[in-house]
Structure 1
Amino acid sequence: MPDTKRETLRFAPSPNGWLHPGHAYSALFAWDMARATGGRFILRIEDIDVGRCRPEYEQGIYDDLAWLGIEWEKPVRRQSEHFAEYEAALKKLREMGLVYPCFATRKEIQDAIAESGIPPRQWPLDPDGAPVYPGLYKDIPKRQLNELMWEGRSYCWRMDTEKACTMAEELNGGPVTFMEEGVGSRGEHGLIRARPQAYGDVVIARKDVPTSYHLSVTLDDATQGVTLVTRGQDLAPATHIHRVLQVLLGLPEPRWHHHELVRDADGRRLSKTAKDMGLRELRARGVTPEEVRETIGLAERA
């Protein structure tokens, strides 16, 4: 059972690449805060993307964090070992009538946007920069839905965001809010009203994997008793989705602290996709953990 009497923080990387200084900032930020409050620090491996995650990257996470001087509780929770839990939560959302299967391909979505009469450049984008889903397959007849499933068409599960928000507010007895102790997606701080509509009908699960980042991270934080979620500002918009899911699924409410991102000299944030220099490379070059802290601006918290 989670220790509800102590502050609990976590670092939850995906083993789909090597950790870079941006990850070091996030991990050390949570580790330092846990030590300062006498709290718990949890490491979680978010490996639901079974096609991209690799054992060597997971081992690299353990090696890099140990090198940084971070200690974590064991055993480590690996999301790939808990698909049944995510599937149970998905079933609950389905029974509540809040999710629906979407068979739309990327090309179908692009074609629907092109045929909408709205110039593609003016089509709304979600906080992650992707076009907001145009609603294909949202209200198709049940007979057609069954035919598509019988054909074996690939699909994902999308949340009916407007319906979900309405039900969440009914369950909550008023507007759904969350506490931001850092800086939110729009520079907000303090008590913020959850408004996930910017994402449209967001993907909650896929046919081959019964979850998505949004669903799994929400369930994991509750299961592990996380009281303060610390992560980069790029993930701040997702909090609006996660808070609504917490209300719908009857999960406890943590607080959030979104921190600044580590950027290069040109202001670009570091990423695995851009193959920025990893911690393992810095270690091989003789860089010390103290020098990493100094580079990312956390030396004073060591």
Structure 2
Amino acid sequence: GGFAPAWWGHAGTKQLRVVALAVDWAHVLAVTAWVGGLAALIWLAVRHRDVALAQPVLRFSRLAGWALAAVLATGVANTLFGMDDPAQLTDTTWGRLVLAKLAVLAALAWLGQRQRERVVPRLSSGADPQAARRAFRSIALAEVGLMIVGLGLATTMASGIPADAEASARIQSIAVAFGDGQINATVDPAAAGSNYLHLYVLDDVGMQRDDVTDPAVTFESAGTTVDSDLLGAGPGHWIAPAVILPTPGTWRVRVTATVAGQPTSASGAITVR
């Protein structure tokens, strides 16, 4: 049915399922009212040339304003359901599709305002009605074209991976034994270039240790060695905000530290895109 995308799309996978589905339904209803109303007006303008368009266009303009507000509000809500970091708007494919949809929406808003300010007064005045109808049709058809683009972007988003899942999937991590506990190291986005490193040193029950000194992390691949400038971020937790891995491929990660007075080391491998 008309609400099927809300059931099989991303809204059905979220923890706040009822809220997400309600937002999705409201989004679909607003888009349907907007697209359907515009299509009806174009059909009226083309098939019934003797019918005055001023009042129908003015009424639809008010409806379109409310539909625009609803589409924007529900679109923002859907975006928040699909990402957990503003940087994902530019760092992920799904986020860039959101920005493209926003650009389409802004263009539609501009065309709608132009229709209301320039075309509706001409339709109401009755002066040169044929020219006024042609102006209406031109802008309305441009709106339809943009709506088709927007629906295509929405379809691509519905069948794609949300930004939060895409960002999570590209993170590489290692978890290996380290003394009587273990280390967890994550590299984000695990791509050639600058990466963000998190290093956690845990005890035998998974708690972050406070008896670790002199931690060091090095990356090695094909004769290239990259050292990390670690910064303390809390007990048993260090970060390196800018680890430059110059080439894609398999990198061996070596971690050394002194744990409870004992030199300790471990290593693992990550794949860099």
Same fold (TM over 0.5): no
Shorter-chain TM-score: which interval?
Answer: under 0.3
Structure richer in strand, relative to its length? 2
TM-score relative to the length of structure 1: 0.17
Structure richer in helix, relative to its length? 2
Taking CA–CA contacts closer than 8 Å with sequence separation of 6 or more, which of the two structures ends up with the larger relative contact order?
1
